[in-house]
Amino acid sequence: MEAVRGKSVYGGVAIGRAWVYDKGDSTVKRQHINDTAKEIERFEAAKETAKEQLKNLYEKALKEVGEVNAQIFEVHQMMLDDMDYVESITHMIENQNVNAEYSVAVTSDNFSEMFAAMDDDYMRARAADIKDISNRLINVLQGKEDGGISGNEPVVIIADDLAPSETVQLDKSKVLAFVTRHGSTNSHTAILARTMNIPALIGVDYPEDIDGKNVIVDGYGGELHIEPDEILLDKFRQIKEEDAGKQKLLMELKGKEDVTKSGKRIKLYANIGGVSDVVSVLKNDGSGIGLFRSEFLYLGRDNYPTEEEQFQAYKSVAENMAGKKVIIRTLDIGADKKADYFGFDAEENPAMGYRAIRICLKQPDIFKTQLRAIYRASHYGNIAIMYPMIISLSEVKKIREIVNEVKAELDSQQIPYGEVEQGIMIETPAAVMISDILAKEVDFFSIGTNDLTQYTLAIDRQNPHLDDIYDSHHEAVLRMIKMTIENGHKENCWVGICGELGADTSLTEEFIKMGIDELSVTPSAILKVRDKIRKCE
């Protein structure tokens, strides 16, 4: 029995088998082959298997993250049939009498280096795709499992860290918990764990031989127990039973109002990253969507999503929410969310660089395409828009000009659209300090507490070395939230919170006393926050 400490990023208890996530980095050795025809057949068979895997991944991603984000798997299928790529591999097998794995690895290096050296941003982005499809081919040739979880048993995922693209391949129904060596409390793995409502630990220096061992993930105490004895197992089974009982009581809150004992009503909305998340919002009885992260329509692909693609995504969410409010955040890309086809220059400090509304105002064609799609979708539901990273009144006025241009275009084309509330995100100290002025120009504020904390405290929230001083409860942050609410209300501008603090029930009562109108949280936290709201005076 062994216990390893880490940092908890989401509470709860998981008991199960450890499964080490294999990123597919394979060691390839050169081998001499006599029967080259048979080796080429082996390569062709591996190629068809890889294409079948990608087809399955596309269908899975289609359900989980929508068509736009699933397209990368279609692109990879096509790349496997690229004649230059295939001929390079088969030619090497025939002329050098080498094994298929080696031929794929060498071709991968050659092609990716060639693409990386090109001037065109789109072609440079293909270097990573070549590496990806080549690693998949090599894994098939070596008889390794696809990136998904093997077997039918739910497991505890053990990894150095997980990128957003890697989690697409995981069958979420088979994930009991996440344990990673790296990452921060604001990493993708942490956010995913909170969305899935499962325990997660980061900063865990787990032993190399952990794969397949029985473990307990203690998301409350921040410990990973390896090969626990029966006494420890019984203790944590009891905790799990108590948690299940609490969850059952929370489910009884479905259909109840989000109102305090004194009659103060709070709008309790949900944060989503894609069309598929609507199912979770409805399952957990969310009153609306307070943050639709539209940038996920732009990630994991090779070019800009079209107006029609975006329209279909926004329309689908609006229709499924059946008249409930859907607040779409316009493109918030940059900083830690990159897309190669945007052609971003390297930045010393991307968190304070070319991102979010700054991109939209500098590249209005991208902005107008998104706005047209949102306005068209507003005809099918109750849609509002909010704009991220605002620091000045001039930005808000420029946004209004572009919005009016888009509406005039739609009018001239006789394309219908609905009434769309206009809001801004308060996530910079600058926006807080002029919130009295900004409130005169918009319908609502949504406070993004993650970035507001980062910029107020001058702490990079992605840096794990600073987790111990990243304090979202800092008095300066709370004062800024209070100031924003007061200034908004003076101008009849309603105010919500869509950052992580929205789900922090230790602050719910304080936010209500401040006068908050809306809280937007991960879907799995809705009932927990409703319970807290209903207990407040």
Mean pLDDT by 10 residues, the chain (537 residues): 86 89 72 92 93 82 61 82 90 92 91 76 68 85 68 83 64 84 70 76 89 91 92 91 79 87 94 83 90 83 85 90 93 67 67 79 92 95 95 96 96 95 96 97 95 89 74 93 97 94 94 96 89 92
Q: Name the token pair of 184.
A: 């921060």
Q: Name the token pair of 405.
A: 């241009």
Find out whether 47 and 77 touch, Cβ atoms under 8 Å: no
Q: In this predicted structure, what is the pLDDT of residue 486?
A: 97
The DSSP bridge partners found for residue 501 are none
Q: In this predicted structure, what is the pLDDT of residue 253?
A: 85
The alpha carbon dihedral of 147, 15, 176, 502 has a sign of: negative
pTM value is 0.63
Q: In this predicted structure, what is the pLDDT of residue 124?
A: 65
Q: In this predicted structure, what is the pLDDT of residue 67?
A: 59
Q: In this predicted structure, what is the pLDDT of residue 336?
A: 54
Q: What are phi and psi of 17, to 5 degrees?
A: -90, 140
Structural domain boundaries of the chain? 2-22+149-248, 36-141, 253-535
Q: In this predicted structure, what is the pLDDT of residue 315?
A: 92
What is the C-alpha to C-alpha distance for residues 461 and 455, in angstroms, rounded to an integer? Answer: 9
Task: Say which CATH topology domain 36-141 has.
Answer: Enzyme I; Chain A, domain 2 (1.10.274)
181: exposed, middle or buried (Cβ count in 10 Å: 0-12, 13-18, 19+): middle
Q: In this predicted structure, what is the pLDDT of residue 145?
A: 61
What is the C-alpha to C-alpha distance for residues 400 and 397, in angstroms, rounded to an integer? Answer: 5
Q: In this predicted structure, what is the pLDDT of residue 11?
A: 81
Q: Which CATH architecture has domain 253-535?
A: Alpha-Beta Barrel (3.20)
User: Measured between alpha carbons, how far is residue 355 from residues 332, 363, 431, 434 in Å?
Assistant: 7, 11, 16, 21
User: Measured between alpha carbons, how far is residue 143 from residues 30, 137, 159 in Å?
Assistant: 17, 10, 21
Closest C-alpha to 313, from 397, 351, 391, 369 = 369
The alpha carbon dihedral of 376, 382, 388, 391 has a sign of: positive
Q: In this predicted structure, what is the pLDDT of residue 163?
A: 62
What is the C-alpha to C-alpha distance for residues 186 and 467, in angstroms, rounded to an integer? Answer: 9
Q: Name the token pair of 165.
A: 């693209």
Query: What one-character DSSP code corresponds to residue 149?
Result: P
The DSSP bridge partners found for residue 223 are 5, 218
Task: Say which CATH topology domain 2-22+149-248 has.
Answer: Glucose Oxidase; domain 1 (3.50.30)
- Residues 113-149 as b or e (16 or more Cβ within 10 Å = b): eebeeeeeeeebbbbebbbbbbbbbbbbbeeeebbeb
Q: How far is CA 495 from the centre of its chain?
A: 24
What is the C-alpha to C-alpha distance for residues 244 and 50, in angstroms, rounded to an integer? Answer: 40
Cite the active site residues: 188, 498
For helices 230-251 and 526-535, the axis angle rounded to 10 degrees is: 70
Strand ranges for 40-100 from DSSP E: none
Any idea what the Cα angle at residue 527 is, between residues 275 and 386, rounded to 5°? 45
User: Measured between alpha carbons, how far is residue 339 from residues 125, 136, 211, 362, 364 in Å?
Assistant: 9, 22, 34, 17, 18
Amino acid identity of residue 246, one-letter, is K
